[in-house]
Structures are given as C-alpha cells and as structure tokens.
Chains A and B, each alone.
Chain A
Amino acid sequence: MTAPSASLAGRAVQARRQQVLPNGVLGMLVFVLTEVMLFAGLISAHAIAMAGATEWPPLNQPRLPVVVTLLNTVALLVSGGMLAWAQRAWRRSSQTVNPPLFGALALGLFFVLMQGREWVALIREGLTLTSSTYGGFFYLIVGAHALHALAAILALAWAWRRLAVGRLAEAQLATVAVFWYFVVLVWPFIYIRVYL
C-alpha cells in the first residue's frame, strides 16, 4: 500500500469511528430513560387508584392550587426555553451563554421555591402523606419531581460556576441540559394527571 492510499484509508476509518454524541450525554440519556419509566409507573399507579376510587379528590381533602401551579408550570417551561437559548448561544460564542443560563437557573429555583410554598399551605390545610391515598400520591409524585428538580438545579449551578471561571465544555453543558429538559418536559404530564 502506497503512502497516499494508506492515508486515505486511515481517514476513512477515522470518519467511521467519529463520536456521534459525547459520552456524558449518552450516559445521561440512558439515566433519563430509567427516570421516565419511574414517573410513568407512578402516573399509571395514580391513574388506577383514581379510577378505582368512588370520590376523587376525596370530599374531606383540600383542593390543589391549579392556577398558581399553572403559572409555576409556565416558569418551568420558560426556564427550559432559556437553557435551549443558552445552548444555541454557545455555538456563536461562549461569552453570550451566561445570561440565559443564569435565567434558566433562577426560574428553576423559583419553581422549586413556589412548590415548597404550596406544600406548606397544603399541609396546613390537612393534606398530608397519610391523610388519604390522594395525599399520598400527590406528595409521592410531586415530591419525586421536586427531588429531580433540585438535583438538576445543582447541576445547572455547577455548570454556571464552571462557565464563570471559563472551564465549562460544550459537552458538559449538553449533559446538564438533557437532565434539565427531562425535568421540564415531565412536569406538564404530572400537572395534567395530578392537578386537573
């Protein structure tokens, strides 16, 4: 084999072995798949409990704040949009990523804080984990989501910090973004099933 043809063959092999997506993103996608199944199982169990109940929500239990949570849902969706904007901005220049990334982080924090405030009010009104199946499912599903949201906010804060010191890689931002998009996109399904 002559030198030029060996070089061409080498390039062809290199092209075939090019990484399609970063390892972190692939790992996060696999993790998100398992998390989707967790929430699908919880929502399915909730649907069966709801179908089997004579009265849902139970008459002696407080009603969930539908309107306030709708506003909260909008805040979470906007947060997801801001992260998408941050990723798009990265392709132009990493200097322009900071404002949308901070916006996504701030709106995520706002969502979790508002959910916490809502929980405190509901517990005061008598809806607890053991007050009824309704309460049990509410705290289990919404609580599982809140834990994921907290973990994703920590990941966003970590990415924002690394960006500030100039050590954030695009693959790291993409990995964190996959997790945040999961938290954002699973919430409307929870809202529709649990709150409406």
Chain B
Amino acid sequence: MSLIRRWGAVAVIALALLVLAPDSAHACPVCFDPRDENRFAFLATTIFLSLLPLGLVAGILLWIRHRSRQMACDEPSPDSVVPQGS
C-alpha cells in the first residue's frame, strides 16, 4: 500500500512539473511576446490558417453539389422518354 502511495506521489509531482515547468520557461520569444499586437496577430493568423482550407474545400464541395443538382434538373426525366415502338 505504501509503495502505491509513494509511486502515486512521484507521479503527481512529475505531472505537476510537466504542467508547470514549461509555463515558467518562456522558451519561445515570439509566442510569449508581451505586446498585445503580436499576440493578436498570432491568434488571428492561427484562426485564419486553420479555417481557410476547411472553408475552401467546403466551398468547392457545395459548388459541385449545386452544379450537380442543376444538371439533374436540366436533364429530361427518364419517365418522360417514350420508348420507340410503343
């Protein structure tokens, strides 16, 4: 039981170090730039670059679906075709 408690304590301390240590390291001088302008630019471009490909692919798929439906509407219905010889 004491062995489990000891390893549990070690795991909690290791986890705490993993979570807290990078916060105090400030390894990247750009990401942690204290100026609001730079932080906003980072956030805005991250959102922009994340959403842009999804938006483009979705836009093309919607356009293809719209075109496909339009072509289906323009196409004469098979029921309207009168078989020859009938």
Bound-complex Cα distance A47 to B78 (A): 56
The reply to whether A29 and B78 contact each other, CB–CB distance below 8 Å, is no
Assess whether A21 is interfacial by the CB under 8 Å rule.
Answer: yes
Chain A residues positioned under 8 Å from B81 (CB to CB)? 8, 11
Is the pair B48, A44 in contact by a Cβ cutoff of 8 Å?
yes
Asked whether, in the complex, the Cβ of A4 is within 8 Å of the Cβ of B83, the reply is yes
The residues in A between 1 and 24 inclusive whose CB is less than 8 angstroms from any CB of B are 3-4, 7-8, 11-12, 15, 18, 20-21
Cross-interface CB contact of B45 among A12, A15, A21, A44, cutoff 8 Å: A44
CB distance from B10 to the nearest CB of A (A): 41
B67 & A20 in contact (Cβ 8 Å cutoff) = yes
Chain B CB within 8 A of A41 CB: yes
Inter-subunit contact A33/B37 (CB<8 Å)? no
Q: Tell me if B20 is interfacial: C-beta within 8 Å of chain A.
A: no
Chain A nearest CB from B36 CB (Å) reads 9
Min C-beta distance of B49 to chain A, whole Å: 6
B52 touches A8 (CB 8 A): no
A48 partner residues in chain B, CB cutoff 8 A: 30, 38, 41-42, 45
Q: How many residues of B contact A (CB 8 A)?
A: 29
- Please tell me if the beta carbons of A33 and B57 are within 8 angstroms of each other in the complex: yes
Q: How many A-B residue pairs have CB under 8 A?
A: 61
Whether, in the assembled complex, A37 has its beta carbon less than 8 Å from a beta carbon of chain B, the answer is yes
B53 touches A7 (CB 8 A): no
> CB-CB contacts of B73-86 with A at 8 A, as 1s and 0s?
00100100101111
Closest residue of chain B to A5, judged by CB?
B83
What CA separation (Å) do A81 and B83 show in the bound complex? 46
Contact residues in A for B40 (Cβ distance below 8 Å): 51
Known contacts A44-B49, A47-B41, A21 near B67 by CB under 8 Å: yes
Within residues 26 to 81 of chain A, which ones have a CB less than 8 A from any CB in chain B? 29, 33, 36-37, 40-41, 44, 47-48, 50-52
Nearest to B67 among chain A residues (CB) is A20
**Contact status A37-B45, CB under 8 Å:** no
A52 and B30 contact, CB distance less than 8 A: yes
* A90-131 interface (Cβ within 8 A of B): none
Which of B41, B53, B64 has the most chain A CB within a 10 Å cutoff?
Answer: B41
B38 touches A51 (CB 8 A): yes
Q: Do A33 and B78 touch (CB < 8 A)?
A: no
A50 touches B71 (CB 8 A): no
List residues of A whose CB falls within 8 A of some B CB.
3-4, 7-8, 11-12, 15, 18, 20-21, 29, 33, 36-37, 40-41, 44, 47-48, 50-52
